[in-house]
Amino acid sequence: MDERAALAVLEDELGPVGDDAAVVSDLVVTTDMLHETTDFPPGTTRYTAGWRAVGASLSDVAAMGGRATAAVAAYAAPEFDESELLAFVRGASDVCDLVGAEYVGGDLDGHEEFTVATTAFGTTDAPVRRSGAEPGDLICVTGTLGRSAAALELFERADSSERQSGSAQTDTSDREADLERANELFRFEPRVDAGRTLAPHATAMMDSSDGLARSLYQLAEASECGFAVDSSAIPIDDAVFDTAETDEAALERAITFGEDFELVVTIPEAALESAEAATTVALTPIGTVVDDGITMDGEPLPDRGYTHG
């Protein structure tokens, strides 16, 4: 059984598990587990890892339109190195600070692979779910897509340059620049503020952690609708063009790679102006909600994306 089949089994048992976070009374709760081999490429600093792991959970709170209250992390590693541990905790604290949440610590645990489990919680009176999109609504995304895909390319380039060429001076400084930029791209801003300010205008919302294409499929399933997307409207991050060789490759990365933690949100056309005015983050309409079918530029858009390991 793969992860999606397993989720379907759980849905039968527990009821709908489709949203980014669970809601209990006015509390939003969400948990994630990340591993070195699948989530932190070689060159990821522990500061970035702490930021990103906790940020991923804060993003789920954002996707429900919640105010972020606090986050915890369980940190498992083969050994506890003081500077690594402190860097992790500072990354976790800094991303919490950025969105007005409190980092309240967690658990330490010996484990052969560096593994982090994070939980974030927040509050909301009116959670925005994946269901609720109506034909005629606009489908929008916050920020830009492709940052994590670009980061991964840079991590890979730095790693292969290290393995191939040893210690030539120019290589070293190029490599360091790649790693610094990759880490920067990996430290995204969780869209908590945007989620909260867009919530009153939104009919459906989720984050783009599985990629835009898959997010559209998930929203379509929950809302029983379709989407018609215009590829030229998709806000591709500049960083993608640093490594993508063609515009087609750049677009492909922006819509399928995922892990960007932007918000994918449907908004009635009449509410778009007030939604844009309410948020300080770029909000880009990329298409419209239709009755059924998911298309880009009139062609079927395949359900491809990142299945989280």
68 or 234, CB closer to a second copy? 68
Instruction: Quote the least distance from Cβ 289 to a second copy, whole Å.
Output: 27
8 or 177, CB closer to a second copy? 8
Instruction: Quote the least distance from Cβ 186 to a second copy, whole Å.
Output: 19
From CA 179, how far away is CA 158, in angstroms rounded? 7
44 or 118, CB closer to a second copy? 118
Instruction: Quote the least distance from Cβ 81 to a second copy, whole Å.
Output: 7
23 or 139, CB closer to a second copy? 23
130 in a known ligand binding site: yes
Q: What does 209-247 look like in DSSP terms, one character per residue?
A: TT-HHHHHHHHHHHHT-EEEE-GGGS-B-HHHHHH-SSH
From CA 26, how far away is CA 121, in angstroms rounded? 10
75 in a known ligand binding site: no
97 in a known ligand binding site: no
Instruction: Quote the least distance from Cβ 8 to a second copy, whole Å.
Output: 10
100 or 268, CB closer to a second copy? 100
As a residue count, the chain comes to 309
130 or 201, CB closer to a second copy? 130
Q: Is 175 helix (H, G, I), strand (E, B) or coil?
A: helix
In the numeric block, the tokens 């939604």 are attached to 275
Instruction: Quote the least distance from Cβ 183 to a second copy, whole Å.
Output: 21
112 in a known ligand binding site: no
**Closest alpha carbon to 188 in 139, 150, 231:** 150
From CA 143, how far away is CA 203, in angstroms rounded? 19
94 in a known ligand binding site: no
20 in a known ligand binding site: yes
* Torsion 182-111-2-21 (CA) sign: negative
Q: Contact positions toward a second copy, by CB under 8 A?
A: 1-3, 5-7, 9-10, 13-14, 17, 22, 24-25, 27, 29-33, 35, 38, 69-70, 72-74, 76, 79-82, 85-86, 89-90, 93, 102-113, 115, 117, 119, 121, 308-309
Q: What does 87-134 look like in DSSP terms, one character per residue?
A: HHHHHHHHHHHHTT-EEEEEEEEE-SS-EEEEEEEEE-SS---S----
**Closest alpha carbon to 289 in 90, 114, 137:** 137
| Cβ partners under 8 Å of residue 13, min gap 6 | none
Instruction: Quote the least distance from Cβ 292 to a second copy, whole Å.
Output: 28
Q: Which residues are annotated as a binding site?
A: 20, 30-32, 39, 60, 106-107, 130, 207, 209-210, 259, 306
Q: Which residues are annotated as a binding site for ATP?
A: 106-107, 130, 209
